[in-house]
Amino acid sequence: MSRFIEIVEVGARDGLQNEKVVLEPADKIELVRRLDACGARRQEVVSFVNPKRVPQMAGAEEMIAELAGAPGRSRIGLVLNERGWDRAVAGQCDEANVVVCATDGFGIRNQGASSAEQIATLAAIAAKRQAEGGPPISLTISVAFGCPFDGEVSEDQVVAIAQEGAALGLAEIALADTIGVADPWTVRKRVEAVRKVIGDIPLRMHFHDTRNTGIANAYASVEAGVRILDASVGGLGGCPFAPAATGNIGTEDLVYMLERAGFETGLDLGKLIETAHWIGGKIDKAPVSGLSKAGPFPKPAE
Amino acid sequence: MSRFIEIVEVGARDGLQNEKVVLEPADKIELVRRLDACGARRQEVVSFVNPKRVPQMAGAEEMIAELAGAPGRSRIGLVLNERGWDRAVAGQCDEANVVVCATDGFGIRNQGASSAEQIATLAAIAAKRQAEGGPPISLTISVAFGCPFDGEVSEDQVVAIAQEGAALGLAEIALADTIGVADPWTVRKRVEAVRKVIGDIPLRMHFHDTRNTGIANAYASVEAGVRILDASVGGLGGCPFAPAATGNIGTEDLVYMLERAGFETGLDLGKLIETAHWIGGKIDKAPVSGLSKAGPFPKPAE
């Protein structure tokens, strides 16, 4: 089994999406470039949503024009509907990450569409790509471990959506613990169940640390064979359903855990910690990641 | 394999030991009683150190006189030397937890004795107990995954100390990641290695969340067969070697993860969260645990 774990940096998108301070596109572009310098090869950088609804994500066109097509870097745009897909294609995004909610309760409140309607949209987008071209498509199944409106989400619900996605010939499928409620035992079972139905399509996992289980869930995923994980520098981000809670698992915490155990990530821990403090200064909020507070171990040679 | 996980509550001892606000013994006694009401059966409540050196731990005699011998509850006193043992015996502590540092660097700075000298002290205490009686003895091997002074700690170092402890007929042996540097892969390997040499003696694990790996390390321990874990309510505590860092893994975070996966702990999550906020008010510091910020999932029925 490979010792390389690919970390998809989502700080500029998921990380900033729930922050109170709304950054200018130029600052977000600088964040992405600083993360490039940390070694990030894949970054989710924009969300093709309505900037009137999500002002934190304004300037997607400007950003992607500046960022897409960089050699050896993949810039991912989040897509919630066909309009978003058209914007991703027009902007020449390197990848499109299409979200399908596992529950109707979350889907209708968050994207104005039921889970089934979102699957139909995904199929329409995949067909459009087949006919007209466009970037590779990832599917992210959100609220895959629990929903703030519908409560528990069953493995069957998640597996069914993954199976539909797999039939569409997608480049990657991801399970997202959007509100941070998963435990590592369930993660492991769900990873195994989904891998059975998606065959060779790579599985990515996306964890929030809302209830302090995010790093344990990442560990359980790797133990179950997952080799692609989302994380955000500094543990940026929050949860609109738990205002005091923390956000995505921190990139530097994940890198620390993995590299301490002999995995490779291609990321520079020291630079990540610097970047966590830099972006913390920009949004006026100290980073919450453990590494940004405690530093690496053993201490790097001076 | 049993689905019951025993959580040893260390909030009143390890949790408060590094806090800036020094509580009166009466407040610490109230914390212990509130934790009793949460369902805690074993609590580390005092440290028999010199209160001039560690003012947070003053009043040990007063506390243990009040607390020891309660039906169905075990009150543990931390012991670093023979003087501490004598105090634990005199106070009729229900259990004594004797610390041996895995490294000389930490041992000499923290306890004024090398690792070998501490093992000799442990042997002397065990002999004294054999001859004169006294409470059951646990051994906690501190800095078992890394030392702020000596750096990396090898598995062999830890296994050797565990083996010496096992030969003394102790009631329990624990590995402590005192400065929060362990990763879950190493935890699992070290648990397996130590279990090989301690036979039927129960193994307890003690994690700090300094680098956000504490809950992952707890999960890895349970997967490796461990059934006893330390935790502190609210994630109380800090790390003198990383002033900005957080403390022990939070009891409510651990309970949440375990019970969500079908384990039993006998602890009441809602009451733990209340207690975390109560003690946070006493020490003027909001609790850092995920559950105290985000609440349980699914939401309890109203």
Query: Using one digit for the tens of pLDDT, what is the confidence trace for B241-270?
Result: 777 778 999 999 999 999 999 999 999 999
How long is chain A? 302
The H or E element that residue B62 is part of is helix B60-67
Catalytic residues of B: 239
Q: What is the pLDDT of residue A1?
A: 63
Query: Cβ of A257 and B183 within 8 Å?
Result: yes
- Cβ neighbours of residue A24 closer than 8 Å, sequence gap 6 or more: A59
> Mean pLDDT of residues grouped by 10 in chain A (302 residues)?
92 92 96 98 96 93 96 97 97 98 95 97 98 98 96 98 97 97 98 97 97 98 98 90 84 98 98 98 95 92 66
Count CB pairs under 8 A between chains A and B.
127
For residues A31 and A19, is the Cβ–Cβ distance under 8 A? Answer: no
* B233: DSSP letter: G
Alpha carbon distance B282, B23 (integer Å): 8
Res B1 pLDDT > 70: no
Residues of chain A with a CB closer than 8 angstroms to some CB in chain B: 146, 151-152, 179-181, 183-186, 209-213, 215-216, 218-220, 239, 242, 244-246, 250, 253, 256-258, 260-262, 289-291, 293-295, 297-298
Give CA separation, B24 vs A118, A181, B11, B55, B177, in Å: 58, 37, 15, 10, 28
Q: What is the pLDDT of residue B244?
A: 75
ipTM score? 0.97
pLDDT at B300: 78
Quick check: B183 and A290 CB within 8 A? no
- Confidence check: pLDDT of B301 > 80: no
For residue B302, is pLDDT > 90?
A: no
Of B240, B224, B236, B248, nearest in space to B283 by CA: B236
Q: How high is the mean pLDDT of chain B?
A: 96
Cβ atoms of A67 and A76 closer than 8 Å: no
Taking alpha carbons only, the member of A142, A136, A100, A186 closest to residue A14 is A142
Q: Show Cβ contacts of residue B238 under 8 Å, excluding neighbours closer than 6 positions.
A: B18, B19, B245, B246, B247
Query: Closest Cα partner for A271 from A56, A33, A98, A17?
Result: A33
Instruction: Render chain A in DSSP notation, one character per residue.
Output: ---B-EEEE-IIIIIHHT-SSPPPHHHHHHHHHHHHHHT--EEEEEE-S-TTT-GGGTTHHHHHHHHTT-TT-EEEEEE-SHHHHHHHHHTT-SEEEEEEESSHHHHHHHHSS-HHHHHHHHHHHHHHHHHH----EEEEEETTT-BTTTB---HHHHHHHHHHHHHTT-SEEEEEETTS---HHHHHHHHHHHHHHHTTS-EEEEEB-TTS-HHHHHHHHHHTT--EEEEBGGG----TTSTT---BPBHHHHHHHHHHTT-B----HHHHHHHHHHHHHHHT-----HHHHH--SSPPP-
Contact B213 A209 (CB under 8 A): no
DSSP-derived 3-state class of residue B45: strand
What is the predicted pLDDT for the residue at A193? 98
Q: Are the Cβ atoms of B253 and A212 closer than 8 angstroms?
A: yes
Q: Tell which residue, B31, B34, B60, B33, has the closest CA to residue B47.
A: B60
pLDDT for the residue numbered A140 = 98
Domain boundaries, chain A: 6-294
Catalytic residue among A38, A93, A147, A239: A239
Q: How many residues does chain B have?
A: 302
* Phi-psi category of residue B237: left, alpha or beta, with phi > 0 → left and psi -120 to 50 → alpha: left
Who contacts A59 (Cβ-Cβ below 8 Å, separation ≥6)?
Answer: A24, A25, A28, A51
pLDDT value, residue A277? 98
Q: pLDDT tens-digit profile of B119-154?
A: 999 999 999 999 999 999 999 999 999 999 999 999
How big is the CA angle at A253 (ends A247 and A254), to the nearest 5 degrees?
Answer: 95
Q: Which of A151, A185, A261 sits opposite B185 (nearest CB)?
A: A261
The predicted-structure confidence for B50-80, as pLDDT tens digits, reads as follows: 999 999 999 999 999 999 999 999 999 999 9
Cβ within 8 Å, pair B219-A218: no
The second-level CATH assignment, the architecture, of B6-294 is Alpha-Beta Barrel (3.20)
Query: Which of A215, A246, A297 has the CB atom closest to B181's CB atom?
Result: A297
> Which of A212, A272, A291 is best to mutate for the B interface (most B CBs within 10 A)?
A212
- Asked if A218 lies within 8 A of B213 by C-beta distance, the reply is no
Instruction: Supply the pLDDT for residue A240.
Output: 76
pLDDT confidence of residue A302: 59
Please give the Cα distance from B210 to B101 (Å, whole number): 19
